[in-house]
Structure 1
Amino acid sequence: MRNSELIAGFPRIEADAAGKRASAVAIVVSGTGDGAGVWLTRRTPKLRAHAGQFALPGGRLDDGEDAVTAALRELEEELGLVAGPEQVVGLLDDYPTRSGYVITPVVVALDDGQQPSPNPAEVAELHWIPYPDLGVEPRYLTIPESDRPVIQLPLLGHLVHAPTAAVLFQFREAALHGRVTRVAHLEQPVFAWR
């Protein structure tokens, strides 16, 4: 993975999870050099929570799991991609959500030989986002419900919102530019608060 040492040495901040549920997402990197990129899903509209939203593979931690184990399990369940702890490059900052979760982003470098096989019960669409496309400048909005800026990333002809936009933005800043950029203060749109 390009700049894996930047992710491995990222000075992550853990959020206080008091009163929130722990969850993890996998930022799945495959490819090398300029051909590297990450996988992004669009959740099926039939899901109970966050239906139809752009997301990284992930979910709640099961009893006894840590963030790495949960992210790797969810990666296999949602995309049929198998990775072990040795393929985990590092972790980014925890992101507390308005819907009651603390998300730990786990960066996973996959071998080029694996091809995803999305689970249709969870994934409506699967998109490959090449590194150059992650270079898009985010949009920041103000909303009356919060004094924090709402982040949006223009990707795939749509707007990707936080928490996914915040996590991808931090990954982009660290992996592509070597910058430590904090994102926990970036707001989600109101529709994602539930």
Structure 2
Amino acid sequence: MPTRDPLAGLRAALTRLGAETSDHDLNPDFVLPEGRVLRPAAVLVPIRIAETGLRVILTKRSSRLKHHPGQIAFPGGKLDDGDDGPVAAALRESHEEIGLPPAIVDILGTMPPHETVTGFTVTPVLGHVRGGFDPVPEAGEVDEVFEVPFDHVMNRTRYIVQSRFWRGQRRHYYTVPYGPYYIWGATARILRALADRVA
């Protein structure tokens, strides 16, 4: 009897059409800057098969960073001139940030870009991490590498819309807390978009 593929539902979800997302989705009154130029970036959404089910690998950014200190994020960053597209950038950044060897990552697909309020257009790249992996957080960039159950972030009832003031305006955003980890902003929005497709 064939063994069921634990990634089958995710593979199917990635074949469905999905819309681009944005940090502005919950802020329809926000006026986008005229003539804005978005910088291309990519993140890896690393998924591991564990005995207890699928797990998503996330990072906690260093509290000493100038931008987004202490926030929960996917490994990733802006595209460099030498990168052959978003997939290459996501794999390179993941290797640099958490020591994830590109050779053990099977690319499952990509999602439509997500526009951040900080001026990036981020392509989420989903990858299956095969075999054993011992994270090596990049000193000064990553404080912690941890995992969240895939079922937790795919459950849309766990998402809460919260708000805070940013540059004099109240901005709303998704959160999907897990234990001591406050997952919010672009990371939560990308996961929510994936949850919508899986549903």
Match of 1:132 in 2: 151
Q: How does 1:142-181 map to 2 (within 5 A)?
A: 142=163, 145=169, 149-174=172-197, 178-179=198-199
Q: Which amino acid aligns with 2:11?
A: E
Distance across 1 between alignment mates of 2:13 and 2:101: 21
Match of 1:25 in 2: 43
Q: How does 1:1-194 map to 2 (within 5 A)?
A: 2=7, 3-13=9-19, 19-32=37-50, 34-65=52-83, 66-84=85-103, 87-134=106-153, 135=155, 137-142=158-163, 145=169, 149-174=172-197, 178-179=198-199
Report the alpha carbon displacement of residue 7 of structure 1 after superposing the two structures with TM. Answer: 4.2
* Identity fraction in percent: 28
Report the alpha carbon displacement of residue 84 of structure 1 after superposing the two structures with TM. Answer: 4.7
Q: Structure 1 length normalisation: TM-score? A: 0.78
What is the aligned residue count?
A: 175
Report the alpha carbon displacement of residue 63 of structure 1 after superposing the two structures with TM. Answer: 1.2
Q: Which range moves more in the overlay, 71-80 or 124-133?
A: 124-133
Deviations, residues 18-75 of structure 1 (Å, cap 9, x unaligned):
6110001100001157421111111001222111111110100001521101000011
Unaligned runs of 5+ in 2: 1-5, 23-35
What is the root-mean-square deviation in Å for CA atoms of aligned residues?
Answer: 2.7
Unaligned runs of 5+ in 1: 180-194
Q: Which amino acid aligns with 1:11?
A: L
Distance across 1 between alignment mates of 2:99 and 2:163: 38
Match of 2:26 in 1: none
Judging changes above 3 Å, is the alpha-carbon distance between structure 1 residues 139 and 73 closer, same or farther for their aligned structure 2 residues? same
Judging changes above 3 Å, is the alpha-carbon distance between structure 1 residues 126 and 93 closer, same or farther for their aligned structure 2 residues? same
Q: Structure 2 length normalisation: TM-score? A: 0.76
Kept in 1: contact 2:98–2:138 (CA 8 A): yes
